[in-house]
Amino acid sequence: MTHLYALTAHAAHALLARKEISARELLDAVYARIDAVDGAVHSYVLLMREAAYAAADAVDARLAAGEAIGPLDGIPLALKDILCTTGVRTTCCSRILENFIPPYDAAVVERLRAAGVIPVGKTNMDEFAMGSSTENSAFGPSHNPWDLARVPGGSSGGSASAMGADEALIAIGTDTGGSIRQPAAYCGVVGLKPTYGRVSRYGLIAFASSLDQIGPITKDVRDAALVMNAIAGPDPRDSTCLPEPAPDCTALLGRDITGMRVGVPRELFSQEGVTVAPGVEAAVRAAIALLERLGAVVEECSLPHARFSLPTYYIIAPAEASSNLARYDGVEFGYRAPGARDTVTMMTDTRDQGFGAEVKRRIMLGTYALSSGFYDAFYLKASQVRTLIRRDFEQAFETFDVLVSPTAPTVAFPLGAKVDDPIQMYLNDICTIPINMAGIPAISVPCGDDRGLPVGLHLMAAHWQEPKLLQVAHAYEQAAGWTRKAVEEAGRVTIAG
């Protein structure tokens, strides 16, 4: 029998709607799981038990009164600690915000609460979302539930490991260069980065404002679609948010994919300095073959400027980070260094003591790229290359419905293996960063394993085509059965008793 904590959100909803379980019982099971395993996994940096039980009791009261409940009512959620929560500490896993308590909810949090979702806690992450392993957290790393000696990915490693370890039924992450999809791949779960502008960024503590996007990390594709239905849509508080209503992301689930054209970009399988591991490529090629058997028409294609994505990203993202993080100066909120003799020293000491090494590295990179005499050579040139990358994708989608690649070139690597080599760490995102450059939606779906560790299949679609993307991902998932098998095997991971 599947434990309650191992259920998908839609399976739990069916039990709640039939009154076979209560929202409190479901929450009890999740917190018991957290208490049992999070000491080893460290998905969470803060739990919200009192508020969570109050919310669960409200759902149960509505059920007792005979009211119908929505698809996410009573569903326990793991929330990345980069989204503001009223009266609840929000730190970005940085010492500089260690005691910051926001006076408002992020738009995504508002919408999830309105949908009846129950946040159980805030999850661990790389500081200010800068990292690919969750080792940059000021509160210590998270661990991969498939092998505790390995990273869960990053920067949304806490949310992904919470899903992989069944410490919630759904989770929210953010994705600036792959931070939803890469950890989802490493932890054997589903991660969706929506089109830039599909989900409001209001209340998201910014890293790189032209790249950041919020999305779901879940146990299967249907749950990702349900979460998207709750969080997507216009918001006048975010000027980059699309003003038109979002489509129903579940509308195309279950439809076959016969005749759909699938492109396989050669540049996302091999680039200078990076080769996809043989076991990862074998799992992804097998998944592509399954898409063909499902009726898709598969053809190799090219994204000629994709090979410039990594250097382009590491000019644009740090430049925007340098600007966004200038507000953390010890004056208005956050940490303030004690004992400074003047304002300049106070600001310098605050930033030196409050920021970790990776954040400092990216601020310096970004400040240099924006400095006088270098702006045209670096930031302006990178912006022009970004346009070329985006045009490559637009041209590809004139021919193809979706593109496919590995989500990451390898499976999860050991903790500490790359923490002292920034370049090797950055190369983990070689397959995901081009998507953020283009602003298109993409999803990672489990597609097998390499030596017992999960591999992710990366699917991409044109701007605003989340329903089509989810249709193909769901068709693959249902035919492959890999995700369902993983979800149903309660206690499957290393940390399980």
Q: Label each residue of the chain as H, E or C.
A: CCCHHHCCHHHHHHHHHCCCCCHHHHHHHHHHHHHHHHHHHCCEEEECHHHHHHHHHHHHHHHHCCCCCCCCCCCEEEEECCECECCECCCCCCHHHCCCCCCCCCHHHHHHHHCCCEEEEEECCCHHHCCCCCCCCCCCCCCECCECCECCCCCCHHHHHHHHCCCCCEEEEEECCCCCHHHHHHHCCEEEECCCCCECCCCECCCCCCCCEEEEEECCHHHHHHHHHHHECCCCCCCCCCCCCCCCCCCCCCCCCCCCEEEEEHHHCEECCEECCHHHHHHHHHHHHHHHHCCCEEEEECCCCHHHHHHHHHHHHHHHHHHHHHHCCCCCCCCCCCCCCCHHHHHHHHHHHHCCHHHHHHHHHHHHHHCCCCCHHHHHHHHHHHHHHHHHHHHHCCCCCEEEEECCCCCCCECCCCCCCHHHHHHHHCCCHHHHHHCCCEEEEEEEEECCEEEEEEEEECCCCHHHHHHHHHHHHHHHCHHHHHHHCCCCCCCCC
Position of tokens 């208005």? 332
Please state whether beta strands 170-175 and 76-80 pair in parallel, antiparallel, or not at all (unpaired).
parallel
Residue-wise pLDDT for 24-65, tens only, equals 999 999 999 999 999 999 999 999 999 999 999 999 999 999
Give pLDDT, residue 487.
Answer: 44
- C-alpha 252/C-alpha 464 separation (Å) is 14
Structure tokens that stand for 481 in this block:
């059965």
In the predicted model, is pLDDT for residue 489 greater than 90? no
Structure tokens that stand for 433 in this block:
């960063």
Residue-wise pLDDT for 287-333, tens only, equals 999 999 999 999 999 999 999 999 999 999 999 999 999 999 999 88
| Confidence bin at 490 (pLDDT 50/70/90) | very low
In the predicted model, is pLDDT for residue 176 greater than 70? yes
Residue-wise pLDDT for 352-384, tens only, equals 999 999 999 999 999 999 988 888 889 999 999
The residue-averaged pLDDT of 228-232 equals: 98
Among 1-10, 82-91, 146-155, 210-219, the minimum mean pLDDT is found in 1-10
Give pLDDT, residue 316.
Answer: 97
Give pLDDT, residue 373.
Answer: 84
Instruction: Domains for the chain: give ranges and CATH numbers.
Output: 4-251+474-488 (3.90.1300.10)
Mean pLDDT of the chain: 95
Q: Taking Cα atoms as reference points, which of 244, 213, 264, 225 lies closest to residue 439?
A: 213
Give pLDDT, residue 1.
Answer: 56
Among 276-285, 293-302, 418-427, 464-473, the minimum mean pLDDT is found in 418-427
Residues with a known catalytic role: 80, 155, 179
Give pLDDT, residue 374.
Answer: 87
In the predicted model, is pLDDT for residue 339 greater than 80? yes
Give pLDDT, residue 372.
Answer: 82
Give pLDDT, residue 491.
Answer: 42
Q: What is the CA radius of gyration of the chain?
A: 21
Give pLDDT, residue 305.
Answer: 97
In the predicted model, is pLDDT for residue 207 greater than 90? yes
In the predicted model, is pLDDT for residue 424 greater than 80? yes
In the predicted model, is pLDDT for residue 172 greater than 60? yes
**Residue 293, Cβ density class (10 Å: 0-12 exposed, 13-18 middle, ≥19 buried):** exposed
Question: Is the pTM above the cut of 0.85?
Answer: yes
Among 72-76, 158-162, 457-461, 479-483, the minimum mean pLDDT is found in 479-483
The residue-averaged pLDDT of 319-348 equals: 93
| Confidence bin at 273 (pLDDT 50/70/90) | low
Give pLDDT, residue 483.
Answer: 57
